[in-house]
Structure 1
């Protein structure tokens, strides 16, 4: 598979170097610079798969520069990163044609999700399981709500959720949860199960069509209401 090439522009050199180091370690090819100088020539030579731009680069406006870039390179996805968290800045960024706007500080793992989404959309179909308006990355354990990262699940949280999802709208007994997740007998794991279910419920509280239902003294059921 062709290597993903990321053009990164941020005048915060420490942050830029950190992002570059992490992305490079994960197999991305990164061109990083701390100014917008010569950006057109760099795009022509480097041929990036995606651009990650700071909104304010020194005295330059990254959003205005993005408008020019999109006019000459309409197929280049642009992600914005910024300490400007007001809605006007976000509206300007998305209105200019940017595909997403990250508020600093942000999770670099979340940035990677969006880089992959907009450079390799076919991966999303292969690795994501839908849960109402949520999706679960089966490779990274990331739970997303409308493509926005909610949380990278712990292995236990992931395994419990996956078991419930594989049996959605059906009861998974306490004994099954205990044996398959903890390799122990119930009620030895009762407190652990209750704690994890409580955490999962909080993660899904945005979508009222999703319910982790307690079937008293029996187990739990993941109810997902079908859209009309």
Structure 2
């Protein structure tokens, strides 16, 4: 849930600038509304706990709990590979070149090159790399709305990192969505063929009884056929 967080306000404007909610929190909770005609509740006064009562410690801050949970998730998840992401994006671009204008495809290719260069040079943060890995997976599965939603979340939460090349990813999603099934089929099967070829083919393990029967069958096939002895008929006395 690394897309669920609250960023601090713009410190250049003032100390009381409101915080900025991530794209995930905005979608989950909806727009914030200020009810100006609602009277605030009266302040509660407390004389403190009664004599002899045991004071309970305050609960941990919600932000600290979220930070620890996000740190645990970050450590458990593997680092996304730029080769896997680029292979999917370039595969989608190759499919688009058969139906989309060359000028559009060349511009998308230039944007993808900028993204790859930023990734390899270490200018992309881990949340951006992980979301791009998820976006490429959704794109290859044909989940256009999910891929487009990830694109919007990156533009909202990490616009400084992605502004130079995200317009190319957006155009790639839109053009790939409009391709015919015949053009999409080779692109969507690329990752499946790679994963299938990586798995070694294993022979089924035979039980000891089946193994012994197989050895006996092999030995019987290797023995030369022996002619059956001819028996003289028994003459009746």
- Band the TM-score falls in, shorter-chain normalisation: under 0.3
* Higher-strand-fraction structure: 1
* Higher-helix-fraction structure: 2
Normalised by the length of structure 1, the TM-score is 0.25
The structure whose RCO (Cα within 8 Å, separation 6+) is larger is: 2
